[in-house]
Amino acid sequence: MSVESEIPVIDFAGFSAKSSSRKSEIALRIRDVSAKLGFIYLSGTGISQEYVDRMFAQSSAFFNLPEAQKDALFEAHRVNADLECGYVPRGREHEDAQAPSDIKEAFDIFQREGYIRVAFPRTTDDASVPETIMPFVEAFGSFHTLCASVANDVLRAFAIGFELPETYFVTRHGKNSTLRLLHYPPVTTAALDGQMRVGSHTDFGTMTLLFQDPSGGLEVLSADGRWLRAPSIPGTVLINIGDLMQQWTNLEFRSTQHRVAIPTDASIGRSRFSIAFFCEPNNETEVACLRGANNSERPLFEPVFAGDYLRGRLNSTLIARA
C-alpha cells in the first residue's frame, strides 16, 4: 500500500553514479526542497527497510528492559574508544520550552568529544556499558556508523548544490553525530494542557536522518502555516534541515517546526518508536554565511562556533537532573 505525503520523495540512488550531471541534478533538487520545506524523503540511500525493522525490534526490546537497568545508564557510559551512550528517562526533556515535558524516553549513542556530553552527569571517565546491555549497544553502534556514511553523502550533495568542493561539509563534520532511539509510551492518563509526545521545535544542527515505525504522528509546519503529515514511507529516510544549516545558508535553507502529536484514535494506547541520527558540525567549526547562498553578500548572522551554539541549545531542552 502506498503512503502519501506532501513532502517530496527524491531518488538518491543516482547520487552514487559516476555521472556528474546526474549528481548535480539530484543536488539541485535537494537544495530546492531544503529551501521550500526543509523536509525531504530520500529513497535509495543504501539502508534497507529490513535493517531498519531489525533496529526497531532491538529498540523495543531495549525499552522493555526493567527500569532499574535503563536508569543505570542515566550517566554516560563508554561504548568504545570513540562512542559513549546514555539513557534519557521520561520527563527529562521538553522540546517546546513553553509546554510540559515530552511523553517520551530516549537512548543516545554519541561521540565522546561531542557537545552532547553536557547532557549526562558522570561519576567516572571509565564507566563501561554493563554486559547485559552491550548487545543492544553494539547493534545501535553499527547503525550509527551506517547513518554517518549516508549523512556524508547528503553533505556532499549539499556542497555540490552550492558549487562548493564536494568535501566542503564532510570535512567540517564527523565528530559530533548522535544516534537517538526514541520510545513514546502508550498514553494511559490524561495529558497535561499543551503536552505532546514531542512538542513543536526545530532541530539544532546541520540535518537529521529520521526513521519511523508505522504508527504516525509526526507533523511538519508548512510555509503557509499548515501542519503536514510526515508518515513513515518504507524504504526511505526522512531528512530535515537544522538551525545551524539554516544560519549557514543565510536563511536560504529552512529549519522547520515539527512535532509528534498525541493520537486521537486507538493508537493512543500503543507505543511509537523512531530513530533519529543528528548530524552536527564539529565543535571547532565556525559557521559563517556560506558563499553562494541566497543574499550571501548581506550576512544575517554573526559567525559562531558550532560547539558553543549546540551546547547552549541542548541545555535549553533539559528540565532537571534527577
Cα 99 to Cα 89, 117, 199, 245: the distances in Å are 17, 25, 7, 26
Nearest to residue 248, comparing CAs of 41, 45, 34? 34
Contact status, residue 79 vs residue 141, Cβ threshold 8 Å: yes
Residue 100, pLDDT score: 63
Q: DSSP E strands: which ranges in 58-133? A: 77-78, 83-88, 105-111
d(CA 296, CA 86): 39
Q: Give the separation between CA 113 and CA 158, rounded to whole angstroms.
A: 25
Residue 320: the pLDDT is 44
Per-residue model confidence as pLDDT tens for the chain (322 residues): 356 679 999 999 988 877 788 999 999 999 999 999 999 999 999 999 999 999 999 999 999 999 999 999 999 999 988 899 999 988 776 666 666 677 789 999 999 888 998 888 776 667 889 899 999 999 999 999 999 999 999 999 999 999 999 999 999 999 999 999 999 988 877 676 767 788 888 999 999 999 999 988 899 999 999 999 999 999 999 999 999 999 999 999 999 999 988 777 777 778 899 999 999 999 999 999 999 999 999 999 999 999 999 998 887 776 544 3
What's residue 4's pLDDT?
Answer: 64
pLDDT for the residue 125: 67
Cβ neighbours of residue 111 under 8 Å, at least 6 residues apart? 82, 83, 84, 175, 176, 177, 178
Q: Which domains does the chain have, with CATH numbers?
A: 9-317 (2.60.120.330)
Whole-structure pTM value: 0.93
